[in-house]
Amino acid sequence: MSNKLPESSVLDVYSKNDVEVLSIDTLYQGYFSMMKYRFRHKLFAGGWSEPLEREMFERGHAAALLPYDPVEDKVVLVEQFRVGAMAADCTPWQLEIVAGIIEPNETPEDVVCREAVEEAGVEVTQLNKITRYLSSSGGCSETLDIFVGRVDSSKAHGIHGLIDEGEDIRVHVVSRQEAYQWVESGKIENAASIIALQWLQLNYLRLQAQAQ
């Protein structure tokens, strides 16, 4: 039996218009929500799928920032407890870049500049967009916008976070080289931080030239 697709399928570009949503039910509504989608979609070989059901974790969208000091060639990382890491048998206290949920009427740029102050005590003086990605598209609608932002690393220190949100965040200032070694060794385990530090390793000379 051949698995070769019709030649026309190579040129097909599917979009949201090729999905029929049959129903959306709320399974749980709290700080986050869980929805059940019932739908069908076009098939690569032609025709439509049978109706499918998928649970979808809805947590909004987020933005993340790698604070970078191009003069000192240092990055600012934060460390905080993460229940998901604990449940996954990873290190519960995760080393991460700054991040936050995008609230109504906020832009991703607004979020990362605000969170840089709240989580690390630093002001961002220049932003560069790295990318936007889906955190786990098989069962979650969240997207993350990732930036690198110029900061003065000498002002980054101490413990930060909003008490009313239960945040307890410790700041670390390390060289770019050491931070990238933490990526290679697996010490840094979350996707946004890995993506940002890999991007920085490829582009730091351009950021340093911008700072001159």
- Residue 165 falls in the annotated catalytic set: yes
Catalytic residue, candidates 165, 167, 184, 189: 165
* DSSP class per residue in the chain: ---PPPGGGGG----GGGEEEEEEEEEEESSSEEEEEEEEEB-TTSSBPPPEEEEEEE---EEEEEEEETTTTEEEEEEEE-HHHHHTTS-SEEEE-EEEE--TT--HHHHHHHHIIIII-----EEEEEEEEES-TTTB--EEEEEEEE--GGG--SEE--GGGT--EEEEEEEHHHHHHHHHHT----HHHHHHHHHHHHHHHHHHHHT-
Active-site residues, by number, are 165
